[in-house]
Amino acid sequence: MKDKNLSCLTKGIIRENPVLTMLLGLCPVLGVSTTAAGSLSMGLTTLLVLVCSAASVSFLKNIIPPRFRLLCFLIIISAFVSTADILISAYLPRLHKTLGIYLPLIVVNGIILNRTELFASQNNLKSAILDALGMGTGFTLIITVLGIFREIVGAGTLLGFRLLPDSALILLLPPGAFFALACLFIVFNRLRKVC
Amino acid sequence: MKKTPSLFYQSLVVALIAAVSALLISVTHDLTDEARRQSTYSEEQKALKELLGTNFDNNPCAEKILISSPDSEEKLEFYPARRAKTIKSFAIKSYSDFAPGGRMEIMVGFNIDGSIIGSKILSAPHNIIKPAGNKASISSLAVNDAVNRAVGAYKKLNSGGLQ
Amino acid sequence: MSYLTIFISAVFINNIVLSQLLGISPFIRASQKISSAWGLSGTLIIVMPIISIITSLIYHDFLTSYRLGFLIMPAFILIIAAIVQLFELAIKKISPSYSRTLENFRPFLVVNCAVLGTALLSAQKDFSPLHSACFGLANALGFMLAITLFASLRERLNNASVPPLLKGIPLSLITAGLLSMAFMGFAGI
């Protein structure tokens, strides 16, 4: 029993990583990952919204009418995203401006709808929360690694501290997002072959 | 075999979920209203102080008015800085959509004769815009665009006879 | 802002996929074959202007005038879901064969960053309903342009011999990056 819970939690981090294996949530991964701090906060916000939505859907799974399933999920997710958006705009205005339009767009992040629809609506509260935590962590990991990489190579800094004397600005621009993610996929494919 | 509930009951559940969600959002919004108002001002106040110096004794943020932009329907914000009730200098908050990745907001400070004191970037998408003249040439394009918009707005305001 | 400026800017300079980085998931997942790319972008061209005009009307005449701007997200996502649903019903009546293809795209229509992003951006820019419709159409065309280029490149690359480590997603991403770089050239005009 304990093993099952543990695998619920850990499967999303690497083995079934939502970004690398299911290609979900690519918009924020590419769009926000220009700085390490911004990516980490985006990841954590998504994680929080994912856990809250999965918990609510799992809690309400017996009363949500199957015909209006998608509608209910969307309402629940958008409620949590709106709340997060309002809280961040009030207490962390700087972060709110950095994340810009990608913050409200968490609502259409494929990971959240995928996990609530395929997992949380069919499992009990505990495993739904564990699954959401794992998947959210997997997403946060990817976006943060990408953010660190792009900030170091693209701006020569990490969390605002200068590391490299010169930098390749292209990595901060939209094409760089695609190139950096391609590198990450290559590393991941390589690792999967070895393991 | 469980009987499927009636359509009325199903809609009721959806409406209930929607109502609870709306309640959650509006309560959070109302509770954080004060904090939001303060935090948005502080950024602008800092920029105003940097651009216009301390040569004013009013609160320009409290007196800000909306003025029309030279090239779109969007309004720009006009901040008058007064000393002893007369306007000594002012600032216009402008924007540009030419910044890579989205919108950039910039505060442009003016002397009362319309000459530019300077500009300060308030917010930029992705934090990659460095001040004009740096190697990011696309960004200086955006700064240029935003400053031009502010100047255009000032000229439009001035020709309208509103002073 | 004139309609032409909005149009050119949205299709080329600020292309929704290649420079705003919105709608990447459908961009990559629906571009394996050029036929599915055309199916999705054709649907978006019909749906996006309708969604933009209705969200803009609701935003201006209801949400802002009753000071309910903070409910923008649930409102918009519900409008999108409803319009997609209605569109599907209409298509089922008109052309049943097409409706089967549409079924595969359903998740890409409702949960699509590009669609919600367009609606939110035009609300943020304070566009009038007609301007939003133009913006929506231009973004859909921009999506079509990007995905058509991308899908035809991918079809060609299927036959090329590439290092096994690059095969599949990494190569597609690099291709997308090069396309995005090409589109950056429009930024000067």
> Does residue A174 lie within any of the structural domains?
yes
C139: nearest Cα among C64, C55, C52, C77: C52
Q: Which of B1-5, B145-149, C35-39, C91-95 has the lowest mean pLDDT?
A: B1-5
Question: Is the CB of B39 inside 8 Å of chain A's CB atoms?
Answer: yes
DSSP C61: I
H helices present in chain C, as ranges: 3-8, 24-29, 34-58, 72-94, 96-110, 113-124, 129-159, 169-184
For C8-44, write each residue's pLDDT tens digit.
888 888 888 888 888 888 888 888 888 888 888 888 8
Phi and psi of C165, rounded to 5°? Answer: -70, -30
Nearest-neighbour CA in chain A from B88: distance (Å): 30
* CA distance linking residue C30 with residue C48, whole number of Å: 17
Instruction: Count the domains in chain A.
Output: 1
Full-model pTM: 0.79
Q: What pLDDT does B101 receive? A: 56
Q: What pLDDT does B132 receive? A: 35
Nearest CA in chain B to C128: B73
Q: In the predicted model, is pLDDT for residue A58 greater than 60? A: yes
> Does residue A4 lie within any of the structural domains?
no
Q: What pLDDT does C138 receive? A: 92
* CA distance linking residue A108 with residue A25, whole number of Å: 8
C189: nearest Cα among C13, C19, C47, C43: C13
Question: Is the CB of C128 inside 8 Å of chain B's CB atoms?
Answer: yes
For A110-162, write each residue's pLDDT tens digit.
888 888 888 888 888 888 899 899 999 999 999 999 999 988 888 777 877 77
**Which carries the bigger pLDDT value, residue B135 or residue C82?**
C82
* CA distance linking residue A173 with residue A170, whole number of Å: 5
Whether residue B101 and residue A31 make contact (CB cut-off 8 A), yes or no, is yes
Here the ipTM equals 0.86
Spatial CB neighbours of A55, under 8 Å, sequence gap ≥ 6? A120, A125, A128, A129, A132
For A156-182, write each residue's pLDDT tens digit.
778 777 777 777 778 888 888 999 999
Q: What pLDDT does B135 receive? A: 40
For C94-118, write each residue's pLDDT tens digit.
887 777 777 777 777 777 888 888 8
> Does residue C92 lie within any of the structural domains?
yes
Question: Is the CB of A79 inside 8 Å of chain B's CB atoms?
Answer: yes
Range of the domain at C100: 35-157
Phi and psi of B136, rounded to 5°? Answer: -80, 90
Question: Is the CB of B24 inside 8 Å of chain A's CB atoms?
Answer: yes
H helices present in chain B, as ranges: 7-31, 33-52, 137-159
User: What 3-state DSSP class applies to C83?
Assistant: helix
> Does residue C189 lie within any of the structural domains?
no
**Confidence at C188, pLDDT banded by 50, 70, 90:** low
Question: Sign of the C-alpha dihedral, residues A76, A82, A85, A89?
Answer: negative
Instruction: Count the domains in chain C.
Output: 1
> Does residue A5 lie within any of the structural domains?
no
Range of the domain at A127: 12-194
Q: Which two tokens stand for residue C187?
A: 């930024």
Number of CB atoms found within 10 A of residue A86's CB: 22
B84 exposure class (CB count in 10 Å sphere: 0-12, 13-18, 19+): exposed
Q: How many CB pairs under 8 A join B and C?
A: 34
> Does residue A120 lie within any of the structural domains?
yes
Q: Percentage of residues in chain A with pLDDT exceeding 70? A: 98
**Which carries the bigger pLDDT value, residue B66 or residue A4?**
B66
Question: Which of C77, C120, C169 minimises the CB distance to A185?
Answer: C169
> Does residue C181 lie within any of the structural domains?
no
Q: Indicate the average pLDDT of chain A.
A: 86
Question: Which of C110, C116, C177 minimises the CB distance to A178?
Answer: C177
> Does residue C100 lie within any of the structural domains?
yes
Q: In the predicted model, is pLDDT for residue B131 greater than 60? A: no
